[in-house]
Amino acid sequence: MDTRIAIIGIIVENREATGQINDLLHEYGSYIIGRMGIPYRERDLHVISVVLDAPNDIINTLAGKIGRVDGVSAKTIYSKV
């Protein structure tokens, strides 16, 4: 199955959502190359970048699930390769 490299950018405005996000990331952990989380205390939010090597449907499914969590926004950037 063909895979692509993608980055899911996540902004968490609702701290209570972090457990749901971590559960989703754990569920798809076999596709995750790396992740970085940055707390932005001045604005009381968190920014997370997740890098994946996965089939398109997996990337879309994960980004969609994350984006449906209350108080969370997610956008995906795909490599051209």
| Domain around 46 | 4-78
* Per-residue pLDDT reduced to its tens digit, 21-74: 999 999 999 999 999 999 999 999 999 999 999 999 999 999 999 999 999 999
* Cα 81 from Cα 77, distance rounded (Å): 12
DSSP E strand boundaries for 2-78: 4-12, 32-40, 45-54, 72-78
Q: How many domains does the chain have?
A: 1
Residue 23's CATH number: 3.30.70.1150
Asked whether residue 1 carries a pLDDT value surpassing 80, the answer given is no
Q: How confident is the model at residue 81 (pLDDT cuts 50, 70, 90)?
A: confident
